Each structure stands twice: as C-alpha cells, then as structure tokens.
Structure 1
Amino acid sequence: MHDAVEVIRAKRDGLELTEGQIGWIIDAYTRGVVAEEQMSALAMAVYFRGMTRGELVAWTRAMIGSGSRLSFDSLPVKTVDKHSTGGVGDKITLPLAPLVAACGVAVPQLAGRGLGHTGGTLDKLESVPGWRANLTNAEMLAQLGEVGAVICAAGDELAPADKLLYALRDVTGTVEAIPLIASSIMSKKIAEGTSALVLDVKVGAGAFMKTWEDAQELARTMVDIGTDAGVRTSALLTDMSTPLGYTAGNAIEVQESVDVLAGGGPQDVVELTLALAREMLAAVGRDDVDPADKLADGSAMDCWRRMISAQGGNPDASLPTARFDHQVTADRSGVLTSLDAMGVGLAAWRLGAGRARKEDPVAAAAGVIWHARPGDRIRAGEPLFTVLADDEARLSHGLDALADAATISTADADARPGPLVLGRVAP
C-alpha cells in the first residue's frame, strides 16, 4: 500500500521511485484521491531531483495507462508522426503531413492549439472555412485509409492524467522540468498509436528551450522514452532564433503553407519540411522516395486538398483577411542582421493570433508579415513589417512588441543565416 507523502519524500530525498509508486500516484491523482497540493509538491521535487530513465519509462507508461490507446494496425501502410516543441511561424505540419502521405505513408497528426507566443496548428487550420478539428476515432481511421493524412485534435481519452498534470505545472512553476515536458509530450504521442515518431526540437530565442544544452537534453530524453516504448523515435534540433518563413498568424500561415505545396513558398520552410519528411520516411523504411518529387509533381497538393475536404473544409475558399493593417518601414538603409523570433511571436499574439488562456478565442486574420529576412539588404522607407488585426486597438500593442525585433546594420555585415537543422538525436 502506498501513500502520497511517502512518494513525495522519496523523490525529495533523491531516491529512485519504484514502478509501483509511480503507477499508484498517477492513477490516484487522476481519480482525485491524491490532492492537488500533494501532486504540486511531487512536481517540484521532480523539478529539482530529475528522473532516471527507468522512472521516466514507468511515469510515461502510467500516463498512457490513465486513458485509452489508438491502434492503426488495420492500415495497409506504416504510420509516422511528427511533433514540434513550438516556435514562431512554425507552420511546418501543414505542408508536411500531406507531403509524407503522398509518399505512401500514413500520417496521424494529433495537433494542439497555441498558447502564448507560439501558434497552434489547429488554430491555423480553423481559418479554412468549414474545416473541423474534432474527429471520432472511426473518422480518423477512415480518413487515414482514404487520404493518408489527418490533422486533428487529440481526444480527451488519450492520457487524461497529462491534461491534469499540465494544468498543475502551469500554476506551480514546474513547466520547465524536462522529465515532465518529455513525458507529457511522449505519453500522448505513444498513446496515439503511431509506429514511428520524428521530433522537431526548437532551440533559440523564439523557442521554449533557449539553449543548445537544454534542447539536446529534452531531445535525448524524449528519444529514450519513445525507444523504450517500442516506437522508433528520432529528433532534429532546429534553429528558432529567427521565425520561419515570412508570416506569423493563422490564415496567413495557411496561405504560406499552400504556397509551399504549390512548389513555391519561403526557402527555409521548404528546407525544413523536406528535412523532416526525409527523417519520417527513413523511420518507416521508405527512404526510396524523394519527397521533393512529390512537391514538384503536385501530388502533395492533391493530398492537401483531399485532407482539407475530408474534414469539411473548402480548399478553394478565400481565407479570412484582417479589417485593419499597418506597415512599418525601415528607418535606415543597410543589411538586416537579425529578426527576433520572440518579438515577432509576441506581436502576433498581441494582435489577436494567439491566446493568453486556453479558453480565449483567436482571430483568424491577425498576425505579422515581415518583408525581409536576415542577410537581406533593405533601403530606408521600404516595408519591414505589416501588422494585421481585426481590432484596431490591438495594432499599437503589436507594434510595441516589434519595436526592437529587427536589427539593421549600416556596415557591410555578413548576416547570412546559419544552418536550419543544428543536430540530430537518435537511439
């Protein structure tokens, strides 16, 4: 027989929790037997003491066991999913899922909503008229069989313990605990039932993990959890010091994603989409297919249109446009040496593209467009940013966040961007 105080003391004192202790406390907390203040104390003990690999396996397994598990074993093709730790202008899931599906692999992409300065995939897609995020398990399985790709909301039955613990971490200063971040992400992804998983772990100013060391630790922890659960898992560490593409918002990021699927789009978005697609295809033994060919021949776009239509969306409908806009021009000529991802993300959030609380609505048409990227030469008076909002009062809040986001050097600076993919972590 276990009790909460015994488990808290053991972790507080640096002891390794047993599988029995972990299984009991996750189950008891989910059922309301363990009080919020007791779980808060345990979360803080984990924050300071960390977890061993064995504890993480048991913790993640208990989180998965708190709900149901999906299975895609009935599909005739292998499944692979991608998870990003979140960034600014990170619309990669939108072109990536149909692209990988066009290569003959099923992509069950359970996505989330944005909170704070990072955008949410579901929020972006909901700017497409008619598109719906909530599917039953049967609808999801049918769409995977017919289309090959689905992007939808995770049901409440997947790892319900995580939802409770996530809310608790948010108000107890334990969000940054790497074991809790890793088990939160991985419990949902493993419960989702995919056979392989590729992680896009962002690092830099606009990312949750600001330093290379923290990003690498998170990537390694998640890869170990996935591997121990029998899911083939790898991670790419990617740069988030500069926002991706030229847009941060909802409808404007959908448009940029469609541009990529049409064979154009920003070079960095295309580059990262292809890098992740190749990693996903290799994970399920389909590295005989070059995803670049599927972008070029239009089959990825065809898959996108079928995916949007299958969820009630109209791929030909006009996307929402903002009621108000304001342009920021360069105050001097020179080379754009930096574009701060955090500043851009905060601006998009304040303009209405993001939310401060989970229940807040988002404005589909709000956001930020930047007209130059680091390394580009710009002249005084040329447009630097365009801010978009449905509420005119929000424009000034967005502009305040952008005040120091762009740095223009009048000297002959070499500001060519560094590599987008900074490293790889595999079992």
Structure 2
Amino acid sequence: MTAATYDRSAHDAVELIRLKRDHGRLSQEQIRWMIAAYTDGYVGDEQMSALAMAILLNGMTREEIGHWTAAMIASGERMDFSSLRTPEGGRRLTADKHSTGGVGDKITLPLAPLVASFGVPVPQLSGRGLGHTGGTLDKLEAIAGWQADLSNDALLRQLDEVNAVICAAGPGLAPADKKLYALRDVTGTVEAIPLIASSIMSKKIAEGTDALVLDVKAGSGAFMKSRADAVELARTMVALGTDAGVKTTALLTDMDTPLGLTAGNAIEVEESVEVLAGGGPADVVELTVALAQEMLTAVGITGADPAENLRNGRAMDSWRQMIAAQSGNPDAALPQAAHSHTINAGVSGTMTRMDAMSVGLAAWRLGAGRARKQDAVQAGAGVRMHAKPGDRITEGQPLFTLLTDDEHRIARAQQALEGAVDVDAEGGPYETPELVFDRISASDLTD
C-alpha cells in the first residue's frame, strides 16, 4: 500500500490513535494505512503527533515496529545491488554500517575504504550533521572538489569499480520517514525508541544492503545517554534488520569521551587519513578495526586482519580511489580556520574525565555544526584535543585548541568547555573504560 493506492475510507485516524492510547496493538493493515495516509496528507500533522506521543508513552511490539518500518519503506523506492557480480558470475554481498552519532565520530571515513580494500562493496549512504554531532557529508565536503550527490547508476558503477561509496541518500528512500522525523522534532517525540529504530532501519533496509553493522553509542555525547536505552535501541534495530532478511549486528560503544583528538570537519578528515596511513589515535583505530571485522564476517570473510590493511597501504589506496571517483582531490590541502585559541590546563595531575557533550557543543558553536538544516558549516572549524582521560597533564600545557573563521564565536565555545575536564591532582591510577562494551546479534534476541 502506498500513498497512491490506499483507500481513504478503510480506517479512521482517531480510531487508531485511541487504540494505541489505550495500550492496544495496531495491525499491519492499520499501520500501512496510517503511514500512506499521512504521507499523502490525508492524515494531518496533529493526528500523527498524537499517535507518535501514544507510541512514546506506550511502546510497540516487535511485530508492530516491523510493520511500521515496512510501511515507511513502501512509501518510496528500494535500491538493488544484485547486479554486482564477481568475475566468475557470482553475486557480491554488500556491507554497510550505521552509527547513532557522537562527538568526533569520523569512523565512516576510514572504515568504508578499509572494508572495500578486501573486495567488499560498501554502499555508505550518509547525512549531514544537526546539532552537536557532525555529519559525514559535512566532513567529506571539506575535500576540494568532492561531490556528495550521485545518481543510482553512478553509485552502482562506483561500487563495481572502487568497492566504496560514501554519498547522500536520495529523496526517494523512505520519504514517509523524512516527513515524520520533522514532526517528531517539534512534538517532543524524538526519543520514542520504536520510532528511532524504524527511522534508521527503514532507510537502511530500503538501501538494499546484504549486511549491516550498527554502532549504537551511549553516554554524554550520544543521543542515548544511558546504556540501558542504547541496548534497547540496538536490540530493536537488530530485530528489524533480521526480520527483513538483512544480516544485522550491533556494537554498543562508549560516548562519554569524544572519539579521537578532533571534533570538526576538515580536522576529522585529517585524522581519518592518519588512521588510513597506519597511525592515528588508538580509540579511532580500535573502533574502525572492530567494525570492519564485523562487516567482513557478516559477508563471509573470516580470518582477515583489517589492521594489516591499514598498515600495508591497501586501505589508503581504496580511500584515494573513492575520493577521486567523486571528483575529490585526495592530495589537496584541507581548509584551515582563520582564527585559533588555546585553552591551557589550570592544574597538574591525571585527567580523569573529558565530557563529550561539552566538546561537541564547543565545536558546534565554533561553526563546525548547524542549528538548522539550511545552515552552512565552516570546513575548518572545530576543536583539537591535546590530551585525553588517562593522560598526565601539567599546569599551563594546552588542553584544547579552538578553530573558527569567526573570532566572535570563541568566547561562547570557551563557555561550553568550562567544567568539561576533571583532573586528579594526586595523579592516581586511571582505568580506561571499555570502548566496545556489548555486542548484539540475532542469536541474542528472545522475541
């Protein structure tokens, strides 16, 4: 059922709102009708708002969430990568990754070419940032000439020739989700886990990938602040992918501390290239390798060592090919901010905390993010971190460098970082939290 084929008289929106308000279960037919009628404009925003609030308060069953996701997929087109073939004529399985977003989360940039370097097609349809978490496309658009928009034919051709694509998702994928997401944003229903899960998974399933690895983050700088909520979201999304025939696993990862030593756009590209060159911050390397291992295993490649392809240059070769295929110049100098300001340590000791949300907010205030979708971002803006929790610091040494093209932004960014760091002056032992604290696959689901 689509907006063009549904029967307006088949159901009544108020009846469905009351049913969910009173803890009832919506049938597949009722859900399909509601999504089609809302996409078509027959069901108004105020009615969908009421249903979304009822879902936030009363939840949905696994079956309901599955039907809701399927209805959103049916509102648009589905991509098909079955034409990708081996030289022998066999079908090539695709693998994709989705992160729920965090501060300094540039993992897609080194991950896609790393997995591609093993011959696995990676169709990474990404978005732009909003708020304190940066968007993958915003980072890549810091590279001279790089183009985010590809036709479906160009996407397929690049996957066949280069194995890796990072590009903008087309408007034809799950258009119902785009409309519903905007509504949730202004009605206090963004936090509804069934709606978060179906929003993410409707687009990923419509994308047509064979395997999907989810990076579900928990902590200060993540959408999900508590680990319990992150686990619930991960289980819900793994169930949706599994029920749709997509081999889906999730890694639960810590986002109390920013990833790596940069939060911004061009500076995150720079750090990603360091990882592809066999260096880079240990936490970025660790998570990139862990997700790559999951993606390779999901498409049947076992015994591979992703870290080796970072060391031997194959991942870097894939990166250069991927960037060049989208008109980017991998050798071009990256943009630099016009102004910088350094924040120094006030005391000596061992750093025990760096609040990810504070760093993300500072980067956003410097111009690395946007408050509205139509806002422009500064390619060179962001925050460089010169130490992380566990490091011994000395009074007066640099902790943060703030980068921006607008000098007047620096004061508010400094305010965001007040109290962002804790230091143990006694310099006692520090135990680094696990970066990956859980893993969920289909075998972990009980219902």
TM-score under structure 1 length normalisation: 0.99
The match for 1:169 is 184
8 A Cα contact 1:324 1:388, kept in partner: yes
How far did residue 38 of structure 1 move?
0.4
How far did residue 414 of structure 1 move?
2.1
Query: In structure 1, what is the Cα distance between the partners aligned to 2:429 and 2:25?
Result: 50
1:56 aligns with 2:65: yes
Structure 2: gaps (5+ residues): 1-9, 86-91, 443-447
Query: In structure 2, what is the Cα distance between the partners aligned to 1:107 and 1:144?
Result: 7
Listed one character per residue, the Cα deviations across residues 83-120 of structure 1 (whole Å, up to 9, x for unaligned) are: 00000000000000000000111100000111111110
1:331 aligns with 2:340: no
How far did residue 358 of structure 1 move?
0.8
Return the match for 1:67 from 62, 67, 76: 76
Return the match for 1:35 from 41, 44, 58: 44
Instruction: List 4+ stretches of structure 1 deviating above 6 A.
Output: none
Alignment of 1:85-104 (within 5 A): 85-104=100-119
Q: Secondary structure at the match of 1:172?
A: coil
Alignment of 1:81-230 (within 5 A): 81-230=96-245
Letter in 2 for 1:248: A
1:368 aligns with 2:386: no
Q: Secondary structure at the match of 1:407?
A: strand
8 A Cα contact 1:88 1:240, kept in partner: yes
Alignment of 1:347-426 (within 5 A): 347-426=362-441
How far did residue 26 of structure 1 move?
0.2
8 A Cα contact 2:392 2:427, kept in partner: no
The match for 1:238 is 253
Q: Secondary structure at the match of 2:422?
A: strand
8 A Cα contact 1:202 1:237, kept in partner: yes
How many residues were matched structurally? 427
8 A Cα contact 1:60 1:187, kept in partner: yes
Query: In structure 1, what is the Cα distance between the partners aligned to 2:185 and 2:428?
Result: 41
How far did residue 212 of structure 1 move?
1.1
8 A Cα contact 1:374 1:416, kept in partner: no
Return the match for 1:24 from 33, 37, 52: 33
Range that drifts further, 369-378 or 415-424: 415-424
Q: State, as a whole percentage, how many aligned pairs show the same letter.
A: 67
Query: In structure 1, what is the Cα distance between the partners aligned to 2:119 and 2:433?
Result: 32
How far did residue 293 of structure 1 move?
1.5
The match for 1:263 is 278
Letter in 1 for 2:340: D
Return the match for 1:4 from 13, 32, 40: 13
Query: In structure 2, what is the Cα distance between the partners aligned to 1:403 and 1:103?
Result: 44
Query: In structure 2, what is the Cα distance between the partners aligned to 1:403 and 1:383?
Result: 15
Structural RMSD (CA): 0.6
Query: In structure 2, what is the Cα distance between the partners aligned to 1:137 and 1:343?
Result: 39
Listed one character per residue, the Cα deviations across residues 239-282 of structure 1 (whole Å, up to 9, x for unaligned) are: 00100000000000000000000000000000000000001111
8 A Cα contact 1:251 1:364, kept in partner: yes
8 A Cα contact 1:83 1:198, kept in partner: yes
How far did residue 292 of structure 1 move?
1.2
How far did residue 332 of structure 1 move?
1.1
Letter in 1 for 2:120: V
How far did residue 412 of structure 1 move?
2.6
The match for 2:304 is 289
Q: Secondary structure at the match of 1:47?
A: helix
Query: In structure 1, what is the Cα distance between the partners aligned to 2:20 and 2:409?
Result: 46
Q: Secondary structure at the match of 1:22?
A: helix
8 A Cα contact 2:214 2:250, kept in partner: yes
8 A Cα contact 1:107 1:144, kept in partner: yes
Query: In structure 2, what is the Cα distance between the partners aligned to 1:233 and 1:182?
Result: 13
Return the match for 1:14 from 5, 9, 23: 23
